[in-house]
Structure 1
Amino acid sequence: MEDQGVKYYQYKYPKYPIIEMSVDMFSKMDYLKVSGSKINILPCNLISSFPSLETLDLSNNVLTETGFWPSICSYTSVFPNLRHLSLSKNRFADLFFISQQTHQMKYLESLDLSFNSIVLDKPCFWPIHITSLSLSNNNLGNKVFSFLSQYLQRIDLSKTGITALTQDLLKFPMLTHLFLSSNSIKVIPTDLSPTLVSLYIDQNSITSISRESLAGLPSLRTLKAGDNPFVCSCDSYWFITTLNKSLLPDWPLDYTCSTPPSVADLPMSEYRTSRMSCEAWLQAAVALPVTMLIVLALCSAFYACDGVWYTKMLWVWIRVKRRGQKQANLLNNTTFRYHSFISYSHQDSAWVESKLVPSLEGAGLSLCIHERDFVPGQWILDNIINCVEASYKTLFVLSNHFVQSEWCNYELFFAQHRALDAQQDSLVFILLEPIPTNSLPKKFLKLRRLLMQQTYLEWPMDERKQQVFWVNLRSMLQVADHRILKDMALDSS
C-alpha cells in the first residue's frame, strides 16, 4: 500500500510490525482494515484523523483498552464519522470501560467484540446510537443481557455460555436480530421478543420447538435451529408437518432425530407419525363417541340380562356377610328356638307351604309357622310375641294380601319393637309382588319406612333368578350360631 502512504513491514514473532502512514492523504478514506498485524497500540494521529472513515477493522491483533484509547494521546475527536468498528480477536476485557469510551464516537452504530476476553463487572451505559453489538465467543453466561443497551437492534451472543433465556430479553423493544448459536439453551420461551425478525438458535440443547414459542414471534422471517438434539415425537409433530419451512434456511439438512433410539439420526423430514396419535382433540373426538357406544352396549346388555336384579342380590349377600360376624358376637349369650318366624297372609299360604317352607327346612333351617307352631288355646297375641322372641329372624312375606291383614300388622309391630330393643338386623322382607310404598294404608306407615330403609328380597318369576333368591335368603337366616340352633331344633322335634 505504498502508493497510498502506508508502509507495512512484517517481522517474525515476537517482534511487532512497524506501520508508517502518511495520514494527510487519507482525508477521504472511508474504509480501513488492519488485521493480523499484531498491533497493540494505535498512533495518536490515527485516532483523530480520517474524518471520512466509516468502517474500521482492527480484528486479529493484540489490542487492549489502553492500546485502543492510549492515555498519552490528546485529541479533540475520536473517529468523528466512524459507523462500524470491529475489534474481534483482540485482548479487550473491560466491557464497562468500552461502553464508556464509545460515547466519544458520535456516529458509531455497530461494534464487534467477538473472540476477546470480556468480563462482566460493572453496569454498562451504552450510547443510544449503537444498535448492533457482537459479543460472541466470550464466556459471559446468562447475566449478559442485563449489561446490554435497550436500544440494540442486533445482538450476537453465539457461544457465550448461555443456558437459559431470562426475562431480561423483554427490555429490548427494538430487537430484530438475535444470534444465540452454539450455547446450551434448552427451551425457547413463549415471550421472547415480538419484534424479532431473525433468530439463530442452532447448535444448542433444544429438544422441541413449541407452537406457542413461535406464536410469540409474529414478525419472525428467519429461524435457524438446526443441529439440536430434537426428540421426534408428538412434541415435534406440528414443527415437522405444519411449520412453514421457508423460515428455516438450514432445513432439512441440519435437522435430524436424536431420540428415541428407534429413529436416531433419521432426518426429521423423513419422520412419519399419525395425526391421530398426536392431536389430543382428535383423539377425544374419536374416543368420546366410541366410549359412549361401548357404555351404551354394556348398559343394554346389563339390562337385557337382568343385571340390575343380580346387582341388588349381590349387595344383599355382601351385607349379610359383613354383618354375620358382628351379629354372631352380639348373640353369643343368646339362644333361639327357630331360625325364623314366618309372617304372612293366610291367602299366601299356598306359596309359603309349597315354596318357602320346603326350600328353607330342606336346607336344615327351623321355621315357626303360625298354622303349625302356635300353642292351641293360647291368646293369639301371646303366641305372636312368644314366636317372635324365640326366633333369630322374623321373615315377612309381603303382598297386597299382607297389608290387608290385621294380624300381620300386629306381627310387624312386635317384630319391629324387638328389632329396636334387642337385635337391630332381625327383620327380613320378601316382596312377593310389587307394592308401591305410597299405596300402603296409614296403619302400615312403619312398613313404608322400613321398606325405604332396609334391603328386601323380591320373588322372581324366572327360575334362574329363583336359585339366586334362595341362596341369599338362606344366607340371611344362617348367620346365627348353627350349633346352638341345631341343638334347639332337635329338642323341639
Structure 2
Amino acid sequence: MDNPFVCDCSNAAFVQWVKTNNQTQVANAYQYDCSFPPAKQGTKLLDMDAESCRTDVNFFCFVSSTCLVVLTLFVPFTYHFLRWQLAYAYYLFLAFLYDSRRRKKADHLHYDAFISYNVHDEAWVYGKMLPVLEGEQGFRLCLHHRDFQPGKPIIENITDAIYGSRKTICVISRCYLQSEWCSREIQMASFRLFDELKDVLILLFVEDIPAHQLSPYYRMRRMLKRRSYLSWAQAGGHAGIFWQNVCRALENEDAENTNILTGPEC
C-alpha cells in the first residue's frame, strides 16, 4: 500500500497485466495510489490509461531506419542514373514558364536566329557563318559570347535567346555533343519546337559524325529521323549552295516542306 507507484508509460505493462491476468491476483490493487508524477498524485494506479502507451516503439524504429536506408540508397542512385533526366525536366519546366509569360507579350522576337555552338567551333562560326548570314544576307544572329547580357543567369540568357529568335541553329560537332550547356540549349530549342509546332530548329553538322557515335544521344537520333538537317562536311566544294540552303531554312516557316539539306545533293 505504501509503495510509491509511478503512473506513466513505464508502468503501463504492469497495469495492463494486473487488469487482465486471471491466474495471479494482486491484493488491494485498486487501492494503490499514484505518487509520481505530481500531476497524478492522489489518483489510482489502475485508473491510468494504459492504452495510450501502446505505441510500438520497435515498429516505429524499424520504419524510421528503413526509410533512412531507402533514402540513403535512393539519393546516390538518382544522382548517378537520373540526374540528367531531372535536369532536363527542370529546364523544360523553366521553358514552359517562360513561354507562358512570353505569349502575353506582342513583340518578343529580336533575332532571326540564335546560334547554339561549342566554344571549340567558334572559329568556324565567326569565320564561315557570320560573314555570309550577317554580312551578305543581313540576318540578325544571337551569339552567346557576343549578345548575352552580362550578370544575368546563364540559363535565363539561353531561354531569352531561344524564345527571342525566330529560329535556333545548332552547330553540331563532337565537342558540341559532349558539352553540358549545348545539350541544354538543344533540349530547350526542341521543347519550343514541339510546343509551337513550327520549324524553329535547324540542325547543322560541321563534322561528319557516324550514326553509331550518335547512339548515346538518343534524343538527337530521334530528331534526325523526323527532321531535316544541313551538313557542312557533305557540302564539299559547294559552299554557295550550302549557304543558300541555310538561308532557305531560316526563311522557311513550314517544317514539312523542307528537304534534307546536305549541300551538293540539293
User: How does the TM-score come out when normalised to structure 2?
Assistant: 0.52
Match of 1:365 in 2: 139
Where does the alignment leave 5 or more consecutive residues of structure 2 unmatched?
Answer: 1-105, 254-266
State the 1:451 CA deviation. 1.4
* Counterpart-to-counterpart distance in 2, 1:472 and 1:341: 17
Match of 2:169 in 1: 395
User: How does the TM-score come out when normalised to structure 1?
Assistant: 0.29
Match of 1:458 in 2: 231
Instruction: Report if aligned partners of 2:171, 2:204 keep a CA contact under 8 Å in 1.
Output: yes
Match of 1:346 in 2: 119
Match of 1:424 in 2: 198
The 5 A counterparts of 1:56-455 are: 336-362=109-135, 363-440=137-214, 442=216, 444-455=217-228
User: Greater Rg, structure 1 or structure 2?
Assistant: 1
Instruction: Report if aligned partners of 1:438, 1:448 keep a CA contact under 8 Å in 2.
Output: no
Over residues 355-398 of structure 1, what are the superposed CA-to-partner deviations in whole Å (9 max), with x where a residue is unaligned?
01111002110000000011111111111111000011100111
Amino acid at match of 2:198: Q
* Counterpart-to-counterpart distance in 2, 1:437 and 1:453: 15
State the secondary structure of the residue aligned to 1:425: coil
* Counterpart-to-counterpart distance in 1, 2:139 and 2:197: 19
Q: Of the two structures, which has the highest relative contact order with CA contacts closer than 8 Å and spacing of 6 or more?
A: 2
| Alpha-carbon RMSD | 1.9
Match of 1:72 in 2: none
Instruction: Report if aligned partners of 2:203, 2:229 keep a CA contact under 8 Å in 1.
Output: yes
User: Using a 3 Å threshold, how does the CA distance of structure 1 residues 360 and 431 change in structure 2: closer, same or farther?
Assistant: same
State the 1:403 CA deviation. 0.4
Where does the alignment leave 5 or more consecutive residues of structure 1 unmatched?
Answer: 1-332, 481-493
Amino acid at match of 1:394: T
Over residues 270-293 of structure 1, what are the superposed CA-to-partner deviations in whole Å (9 max), with x where a residue is unaligned?
xxxxxxxxxxxxxxxxxxxxxxxx
Instruction: Report if aligned partners of 1:339, 1:391 keep a CA contact under 8 Å in 2.
Output: yes
User: Using a 3 Å threshold, how does the CA distance of structure 1 residues 414 and 461 change in structure 2: closer, same or farther?
Assistant: closer
- % identical equivalent positions: 38
Instruction: Report if aligned partners of 1:342, 1:396 keep a CA contact under 8 Å in 2.
Output: yes
Over residues 208-245 of structure 1, what are the superposed CA-to-partner deviations in whole Å (9 max), with x where a residue is unaligned?
xxxxxxxxxxxxxxxxxxxxxxxxxxxxxxxxxxxxxx
* Counterpart-to-counterpart distance in 1, 2:246 and 2:192: 21
Over residues 386-422 of structure 1, what are the superposed CA-to-partner deviations in whole Å (9 max), with x where a residue is unaligned?
1000011100111111101110000011001011111
Amino acid at match of 2:133: L
User: Using a 3 Å threshold, how does the CA distance of structure 1 residues 439 and 463 change in structure 2: closer, same or farther?
Assistant: closer
Over residues 319-357 of structure 1, what are the superposed CA-to-partner deviations in whole Å (9 max), with x where a residue is unaligned?
xxxxxxxxxxxxxx7752111000111100000000011
State the 1:477 CA deviation. 1.1
